[in-house]
Amino acid sequence: MSESNAPTGTAWWRHAAIYQVYVRSFADGNGDGTGDLAGVRDRLPYLRELGVDALWFNPWYLSPMADGGYDVADYRDIDPMFGTLAEAERLIDEAHGLGLRVIVDLVPNHCSDQHVWFRQALAAGPGSPERERFWFAPGRGENGELPPNDWQSYFGGNAWSRTTEADGTPGPWYLHLFAPEQPDLNWEHLDVRAEFESILRFWLDRGVDGFRIDVAHGLAKKPGLPDVGPDPDVTDLPYQDCDAVHDIYRSWRKISDSYPGERAFVGEVWLPTPTQFARYLRPDELHSAFNFEFLCCAWEVDALRSVVDTTLAAHRPVGAPPTWVLSNHDTIRHVTRYGRADTSFDMGDKRLGDPSDPVLGRRRARAAALLTMALPGGVYVYQGDELGLPEVQDIPDHLVQDPTFVRSGGLDRGRDGCRVPLPWSAEGGSLGFSPAGADARPWLPQPADWAEVAVSVQHADPDSALALYRAALALRRERLVPLGEGFDWVAAGPGALCFTRGGGFHCLVNFSDEPVGLPADSVVLLSSSPLVGGVPGQRVVPGDTCVWFTTG
Distance of CA 381 to the CA centre of its chain: 9
Query: Which candidate in 36, 184, 268, 402 is catalytic?
Result: 268
| Number of CB atoms found within 10 A of residue 300's CB | 13
d(CA 409, CA 406): 5
Distance of CA 232 to the CA centre of its chain: 27
CA distance to 76, 196, 294, 315, 475, per residue, from 375 (Å): 36, 34, 12, 13, 13
Concerning whether 197 is annotated as a catalytic residue, the answer is no
How, if at all, do strands 378-382 and 160-164 pair? unpaired
Distance of CA 254 to the CA centre of its chain: 25
Distance of CA 544 to the CA centre of its chain: 25
Query: Which candidate in 28, 53, 181, 214 is catalytic?
Result: 214
Q: Strands of 288-357 (E only): list them.
A: 288-289, 323-324
| Number of CB atoms found within 10 A of residue 525's CB | 18
Residue 551 neighbours by CB under 8 Å, 6+ apart: 504, 506, 519, 521, 522, 523
Concerning whether 349 is annotated as a catalytic residue, the answer is no
Contacts within 8 Å (CB) and 24+ apart, 142-146: 143/170, 144/170, 144/172, 144/173, 145/170
Orientation angle between helical segments 244-257 and 190-204, nearest 10 degrees: 30
d(CA 197, CA 7): 31
Distance of CA 296 to the CA centre of its chain: 13
Beta pairing partners, 499: 489, 507
Residue 55 neighbours by CB under 8 Å, 6+ apart: 18, 19, 20, 21, 47, 95, 100, 101, 102, 103
Query: What is residue 151's DSSP assignment?
Result: -
d(CA 466, CA 475): 14
Q: Residue 541: what are its φ and ψ, rounded to 5°?
A: -100, 120
Cβ(348)–Cβ(332) below 8 Å: no
Beta pairing partners, 524: 549
Cβ(16)–Cβ(54) below 8 Å: yes
| Number of CB atoms found within 10 A of residue 205's CB | 9
d(CA 366, CA 388): 8
CA distance to 35, 38, 173, per residue, from 383 (Å): 13, 17, 39
Query: What is residue 79's DSSP assignment?
Result: -
Catalytic site positions: 214, 268
